[in-house]
């Protein structure tokens, strides 16, 4: 895959007679954050019920399944497999059972010291059944001396490093936590008396909840019959919100880190037009994520915005290619060029980012050959990606990024993708577009400034072989 993939979405519901159903709807709105597996754990105050499976939310949760998830509290999760193989047993929420009670946890993010913690726990006799960071967190919680949920949570959070948005469920309490740098988004909303926690506001919108505020970086909240209690167990650290949520990951109708994503992308396009103008006839976007930036580019440049690439929205996971090669086949399954729009035109095509470059190359070629474009000027609404993400995004290694394989030279990248010109948004321009408010962002993948240190071992872990499982169980 020639794109970055969001790792996960989480949701928590407290105080609604159909908590699992609301969790299901919220996960449905967060589907873009993880299409590999989904799960919900609910509690009615006496016992917990769970269902997890591979696949899309709407395929996993049928009516009869939801009936078997009773209770007024629930947490849910959708995921890609950043760490841990693509297996059902790695689906979340992770649930455990002990004589002192049950606990379920769902996690969006990535712990940079998970391996070290795990080895230490194994030294002391712990055994692991999954390869998920979440299991490490649960082990650390089990080692807390106090039985109070907040104490268990802080015991674990004291030891872990990395990015995390966590939701917790016991038989009687819901909790949520966000890492001190606030790398991944997490918001709090209300639907009447019901408390709703979710990765993005679009989940609140679907269930009709109103947005109240972000869970703050370093904040832990516990919700139970006594209401919401907020804890700040850590010394404050600088905000390092993931800037890529704005560029690509989040849904355009969501508000993340206090800003609407669609409007931010329009601004990115406007800024891009100022920095990287092009002599052209029309502007088109690579749908769907590149379209708002293309609209912004068109506005700032005065060029006409057109839809020159049409997306097939029935694209699924597997696709059978004919053995006789058809040119640009892979990209044709998703996109088609509109010849009547492009024919003989000088075309600016705006995309959000270039990862390996192979898709961009196919798009440029399709615009020329199938669309008949006279010139193709590619514009990217973010700076060149120069490094991997270790905070919860599934990225290629540094060596696979086209920016590195082409020696950090834009001209060589342009040559590879075959465009007449290529222009990236500058890092300064990116900050200007997203940060009039002064909030801090993590831009490590562009700048190499990683806000959280990580062990040398971190790359090796991803290579690790685990017990292979047949199929997806």
Q: Which residues are catalytic?
A: 8
Residue 151, class by beta-carbon neighbours within 10 Å (0-12 exposed, 13-18 middle, 19+ buried)?
Answer: middle
Q: Scanning residues 193 to 222, which ones bind its own copies (CB under 8 A)?
A: 202, 205-208
- CB nearer to its own copies: give 116 or 410: 116
Q: Are 130 and 466 in contact (CB under 8 A)?
A: no
77 backbone φψ class: left, alpha, beta (φ>0; ψ -120 to 50): beta
* Residue 33 CA, distance from chain mean position: 5
Q: How far, in Å, are 44, 389, 468 from residue 227 at the CA level?
A: 17, 37, 44
Q: Scanning residues 272 to 301, which ones bind its own copies (CB under 8 A)?
A: 288, 291-292, 295, 299
Within 10 A of 194 (CB to CB), how many other CB atoms are there? 18
Handedness of CA 176, 248, 388, 54 (dihedral sign): positive
Is residue 341 close enough to count as binding its own copies by CB under 8 A? yes
Handedness of CA 205, 206, 208, 214 (dihedral sign): negative
- CB nearer to its own copies: give 53 or 386: 53
CA distance linking residue 287 with residue 103, whole number of Å: 41
Is residue 338 close enough to count as binding its own copies by CB under 8 A? yes
CA distance linking residue 42 with residue 22, whole number of Å: 11
- Smallest gap from residue 295 Cβ to its own copies (A): 7
- CB nearer to its own copies: give 332 or 412: 332
Is the omega angle on the peptide bond into residue 295 within 30 degrees of 0, that is, cis? no
Q: Scanning residues 71 to 90, which ones bind its own copies (CB under 8 A)?
A: 88-89
- Smallest gap from residue 119 Cβ to its own copies (A): 5
Of 237-245, 308-316, 387-395, 418-426, which segment contacts its own copies by CB under 8 A?
A: 308-316
Whose CA is closest to 343, among 318, 316, 374?
374
* Interface pick for its own copies out of 150, 167, 183, 337 (rule CB under 8 A): 337
Which SS3 state, helix, strand or coil, does residue 329 take? helix
- Smallest gap from residue 149 Cβ to its own copies (A): 15
* Interface pick for its own copies out of 1, 323, 407, 463 (rule CB under 8 A): 323
Quick note: the x/- pattern for its own copies over 104-143, rule CB under 8 A, is x-------------xx--x-xxxxxxxx---x--xx--xx
Whose CA is closest to 5, among 447, 302, 412, 388?
388
Q: Scanning residues 16 to 55, which ones bind its own copies (CB under 8 A)?
A: 16-18, 21-22, 24-25, 28-29, 31-32, 35, 41, 47-53
- CB nearer to its own copies: give 318 or 438: 318
H or E element that contains 79? strand 73-79
Whose CA is closest to 10, among 169, 135, 232?
169
Of 100-108, 275-283, 375-383, 384-392, which segment contacts its own copies by CB under 8 A?
A: 100-108
Q: Are 308 and 283 in contact (CB under 8 A)?
A: no
Is residue 437 close enough to count as binding its own copies by CB under 8 A? no
Residue carrying structure tokens 């806000």: 451
- CB nearer to its own copies: give 53 or 439: 53
Is residue 354 close enough to count as binding its own copies by CB under 8 A? no
Quick note: the x/- pattern for its own copies over 394-433, rule CB under 8 A, is ----------------------------------------
Q: Scanning residues 234 to 253, which ones bind its own copies (CB under 8 A)?
A: 251-253
- Smallest gap from residue 232 Cβ to its own copies (A): 27
Is residue 97 close enough to count as binding its own copies by CB under 8 A? yes
Give how many residues touch its own copies by CB under 8 A: 109
* Interface pick for its own copies out of 45, 59, 146, 279 (rule CB under 8 A): 59
CA distance linking residue 22 with residue 218, whole number of Å: 26
CA distance linking residue 230 with residue 232, whole number of Å: 7
- Smallest gap from residue 87 Cβ to its own copies (A): 10
CA distance linking residue 209 with residue 196, whole number of Å: 8
- Smallest gap from residue 210 Cβ to its own copies (A): 10
- Smallest gap from residue 411 Cβ to its own copies (A): 31
């Amino acid at each position: 895959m020639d794109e970055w993939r969001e790792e996960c979405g989480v949701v928590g519901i407290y105080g609604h007679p159909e908590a699992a159903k609301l969790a299901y709807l919220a996960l449905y709105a967060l589907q873009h954050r993880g299409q590999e597996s989904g799960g919900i754990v609910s509690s009615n105050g006496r016992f917990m019920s769970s269902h997890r499976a591979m696949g899309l939310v709407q395929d996993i949760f049928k009516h009869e399944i939801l009936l078997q998830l009773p209770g007024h509290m629930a947490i849910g999760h959708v995921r890609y497999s950043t760490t841990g193989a693509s297996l059902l047993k790695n689906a979340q929420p992770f649930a455990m059972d002990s004589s002192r009670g049950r606990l379920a946890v769902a996690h969006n993010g990535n712990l940079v010291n998970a391996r070290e913690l795990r080895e230490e726990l194994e030294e002391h006799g712990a055994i692991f059944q999954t390869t998920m960071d979440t299991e490490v967190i649960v082990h650390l919680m089990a080692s807390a001396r106090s039985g109070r949920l907040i104490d268990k949570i802080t015991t674990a959070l004291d030891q872990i490093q990395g990015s995390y948005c966590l939701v917790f469920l016991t038989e009687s309490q819901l909790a949520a936590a966000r890492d001190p740098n606030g790398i991944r988004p997490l918001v709090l909303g209300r639907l009447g008396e019901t408390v709703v926690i979710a990765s993005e506001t679009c989940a609140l919108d679907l269930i009709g909840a109103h947005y109240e505020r972000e869970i703050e970086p370093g904040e832990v909240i516990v919700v139970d019959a006594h209401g919401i209690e907020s804890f700040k167990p850590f010394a404050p650290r600088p905000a390092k919100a993931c800037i890529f949520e704005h560029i690509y990951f989040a849904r355009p109708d969501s508000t993340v880190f206090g800003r609407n994503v669609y409007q931010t992308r329009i601004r990115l396009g406007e800024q891009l037009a100022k920095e990287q103008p092009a002599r052209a006839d029309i502007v088109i976007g690579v749908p769907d994520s590149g379209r708002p930036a293309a609209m912004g580019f068109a506005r700032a440049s005065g060029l006409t915005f057109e839809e020159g690439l049409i997306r097939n929205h029935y694209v699924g996971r597997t696709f059978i290619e004919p053995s006789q090669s058809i040119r640009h086949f892979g990209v044709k399954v998703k996109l088609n060029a509109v010849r009547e729009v492009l024919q003989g035109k000088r075309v600016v095509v705006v995309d959000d980012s270039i990862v390996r470059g192979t898709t961009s190359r196919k798009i440029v070629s399709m615009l020329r050959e199938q669309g008949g474009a006279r010139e193709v000027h590619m514009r990217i609404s973010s700076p060149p990606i120069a490094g991997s993400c270790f905070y919860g995004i599934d990225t290629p290694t540094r060596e696979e990024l086209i920016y590195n394989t082409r020696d950090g030279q834009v001209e060589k990248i342009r040559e590879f993708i075959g465009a007449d010109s290529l222009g990236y948004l500058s890092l300064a321009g990116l900050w200007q577009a997203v940060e009039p408010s002064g909030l801090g962002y993590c831009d490590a993948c562009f700048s190499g400034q990683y806000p959280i240190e990580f062990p040398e071992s971190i790359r090796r872990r991803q290579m690790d072989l685990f017990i292979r499982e047949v199929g997806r169980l």
